Chain A
Amino acid sequence: MKNINWSKYSKPIILVAFCVILTILRPTTFPTVSNIANVLWSVSVIGIMVCGTIFVFLVGGIDLSIATLCGFSAVVVVEVIHMFGDTTMGVFVGILAAIGVGALAGCVHGLIITTFNIPAFLVTFATQSVFLGLSMVITNNKIVSCTAPAAFTAIGSMKILGFPLPIYFMIVIAVLSWFVLRKTVFGRWIYAVGGNPAASEISGINVKRATILCYVFSGMTTAIGGIVLASMTRQAMAATGSGYTNDVITAGVIGGVSLLGGVGTVPGAIFGAVLMGLLNNGLNLLSVPSTHAGLVKGLVIIIAVGFDAMQHRDQSRKKSGFAFFKKKNA
């Protein structure tokens, strides 16, 4: 007695339905290559970042510093390029430096969270302010523009086969994340740790190390997002990336990633990002005033989360978190 599990296909169905509706309503402006490329381009930064933060969500953590870390790495890459006199060499060093900063930030998050057993919410809430402050100090709270060299500006806007480069970055990072989560032993560990850290520890998994690595990877993708964003806008400032924390978390949640840990997939998260892009694009094409956009987005999130909660209502879950390391009385 096996009935078709429709919930498995709900995401592609929603996506297609969305496209069909927009095609019917705006037959001339919506279904064009340039518009689709535009939608994907607009979500590529969110897409890149959510592929890393999904690791953090899966181990039951959260990262509230996404936006300001994104801004900080944008500032780093641009400043380094200027230091190297706007040379291609500078672009390479800048990219490495920014990704290094992201990895380091993630490492610090992971270490603080696992060593002192402080909730990720509080740690990243504090560091978001630190990153913002660092950006402000370095830039003197001014906009730093960067329009050269070509190697830098190409990152955000060069087109291959009609699609801008960031879309390809998103695809490559998504495939990489998907592979790690779905195929490797490390990926299996992440789901286990998110589902039950105490049982994972007893099963021989180094829960602390796995958790830290998740934050490191999340920091790296956030930094890549920052680099792409700086190139797209050809500038960097402390406010670069503001609002992205919400967008990335929203994309994840719409895509079925549980903020309680242990549940979620990369295709789901990318779906969430693309759906948000389509939503923005649709509201735009339908001439909905931007004053109403926030309202509509909020309602969509509530519906998505409510739908998810309904599906998972009967599933048992038991979490004990890092309490395992501290509490030992039987």
Chain B
Amino acid sequence: MAENNVILEAKGIYKSFSGVSVLQDVHFSVDRGEVHALMGENGAGKSTLIKIITGVYSKDQGQIYWEGKPVEINNYQDCQKLGVACIYQELSVIPPLTVAQNVFLGREPRKAGKIIDYKKMNQMTQELIDKYEFPLKPTTVVDNLGIGQRQLIEILKGLSQNSKLLIMDEPTASLSGKEAEMLFKIINTLRKQGVSIIYISHRLEEVYMLSDRLTILRDGKNAALLEKHEIIPAKVIETMIGKVVDESSGSKKMLQSKGGDVRLDVRGLTDKTDRFRNISFQVHKGEILGFGGLIGAGRTELVRAIYGIDKPISGEVYLDGEKMVNPSPKKSIDMGIGFVPEDRRNHGFIPLLSTTKNVALTNYDILKKNGLAVSDKDELDMSKRAIQAIDIRPSDPDKQVGVMSGGNQQKVVLGKWLMRDLRLLIVDEPTAGIDVGAKDEIYSILEDLASKGVAVIVVTSDLQELLRVSHRILVMRKGDIVKEFKNEVVTQSMVLSAGQGVTEDKEAAE
């Protein structure tokens, strides 16, 4: 490609935090109208690189060039002025305002000096929407929109400031399949209009589908720069983690029912606010039961109710034939149920506390006591066992969990359940935002538990993951179980279709 076609280039970037090197001699360049994917395991330096480009961190060494000229980016305003917009994972739209009000927040067009010209603002927003074919209306109040559409507003906001480069960090992490498709369509339109995109994602299939080029970082260094035709799944994964992982089997699977006696028996469970209704199913000993469906299908609400966080209005839950009366998390834990929540950051762990204290949190009933005092030694031993069992890094048991990478935080959340005798483990989106290597480790933990007779329920929106781990699959849609797959070959599209209420050959009427 011609040199003048490069919009952003970072050369020889070095960065270290308190003596620990995070980026070493990293090169990264983006062409005009290119979707350039950035991949790497957690801790590989992706976020740090992006934060240097957007001026959140200062670099130790190196130079950034914008359209061929060297630039200094000291804060986010600097990078906005150049024409870079970051689409944040944690969205910053304001719900009570309209789409147009959000897009032009702080930059509202005026008339007669001070008064906001709403007509003009809506018109300008409409022009943008038309140009890039966004499925939005300027006057819709954001409160009524889903997370996918809110993300589009963020993108629109960037475009309204004439951004030439958009940075998307895990944009599909919280989107349903349909919303993600909408986003992909927009990304393709943007590319055609000459907008460049840095696309960071752990979801390989998205990267193959969307990106023109792919930069892979490993341990803070450039591991590879691949052109579109060079992006081969096995090769990418190998480059990223430096070992071979079995992910290729993810699009299709022969399901085989496993397990012995019925462990969990759910009968007619119905939610107070109708987010799921009359749900009945069973899980067997040693079985991994996968729950598929779109976000908002009621799966998270269902498992929360089974674990005893939310109270259902009717229905019964039996564990090994014993009825669960007045369920609560405490009772569930006492009965041998473990739970890994969907929202890791808010519900999963205590950020200020160490690995030791987080791992011990559910296990004080089995830790030794000297009189009233918990044995510090026993607590520490347990933490060390957990660190070793699932390879938590850093391996320092006193490390605050809040400052760890997502993958290791999840290992801490999961690790505490491995320290006790479980009968049933419920995991909700176990690998969201986690790198491939850690994903694989988590899958083997689940498989290992199942082989020991633990019943496992996995709720996941990652189809590859669903097929990878499940022995049997239930698909939910709008609060009902709509499909069961067992002892048959199942593909991603079959699960997706069931979740969206579409049968393979004909569209079901709404």
Contact = CB atoms under 8 A, between A and B. Distances in A.
Given A195-B350, A317-B351, A317-B352, A183 B373 contact: yes
B346 interface: yes
B130 to A, nearest CB: 32
Contacts of A179: 372-373
Contacts of B301: 328, 330
A84 B376 CA distance: 48
B433 interface: no
Given A184-B373, A188-B357, A316-B403, A202 B352 contact: no
A203 B373 contact: no
Contact of A330 (B296, B309, B329, B362): B296
Interface string B138-177: 0000000000000000000000000000000000000000
27 contacts: A183-B372, A184-B372, A191-B350, A192-B353, A195-B351, A199-B349, A200-B361, A202-B307, A202-B339, A202-B341, A203-B361, A203-B362, A204-B330, A204-B333, A262-B352, A315-B352, A315-B402, A316-B402, A317-B352, A318-B345, A318-B402, A320-B346, A328-B301, A328-B310, A330-B295, A330-B301, A330-B343
A198 B346 contact: yes
Contact of B347 (A202, A315, A316): A202
A262 B350 contact: yes
Taking residues whose C-beta sits less than 8 angstroms from the other chain, chain A's interface range is 20 to 34
Contacts, number: 101
Most chain A CB within a 10 A radius of its CB, from B309, B347, B352, B360: B352
A263 interface: yes
A200 B309 contact: no
Given A188-B360, A202-B341, A204-B330, A316 B351 contact: yes
A161 interface: no
A318 B346 contact: yes
A195 B361 CA distance: 12
A1 interface: yes
A124 interface: no
Taking residues whose C-beta sits less than 8 angstroms from the other chain, chain B's interface range is 35 or more
B339 A195 contact: no
Given A183-B374, A199-B348, A262-B353, 15 more contacts: A191-B357, A192-B357, A192-B361, A195-B352, A196-B347, A198-B347, A202-B307, A204-B330, A204-B333, A263-B352, A315-B352, A315-B402, A316-B351, A320-B346, A328-B301
A202 B372 contact: no
A314 B403 CA distance: 9
A201 interface: yes
A199 B350 contact: yes
B342 interface: yes
Interface in A181-224: 183-185, 188, 191-192, 195-196, 198-206
B113 interface: no
B330 to A, nearest CB: 4
B329 A317 contact: no
Contact of B374 (A185, A191, A318): A185
Contacts of B353: 191-192, 195, 262
Nearest to A260: B352
